Amino acid sequence: MKKKFNLEDLDCANCAAKMETGIKEIPGVINASVNFLAQKMMLEAPDDQFDAILDKAVKYIAEVEPDCRVII
Q: Where are the domains of the chain?
A: 2-71
**Short-list 25, 9, 3, 24, CA closest to 62:** 9
pTM of the predicted protein model: 0.94
Decide which of 3.10.450.50, 3.40.640.10, 3.30.70.100, 3.40.50.12780 is the CATH code for 2-71. 3.30.70.100
pLDDT at residue 39, rounded to an integer: 98
**For 12-44, what is each residue's pLDDT tens digit?**
999 999 999 999 999 999 999 999 999 999 999
Contact, 45 vs 30, CB < 8 A? Answer: yes
DSSP 9: S
pLDDT, averaged across the chain: 97
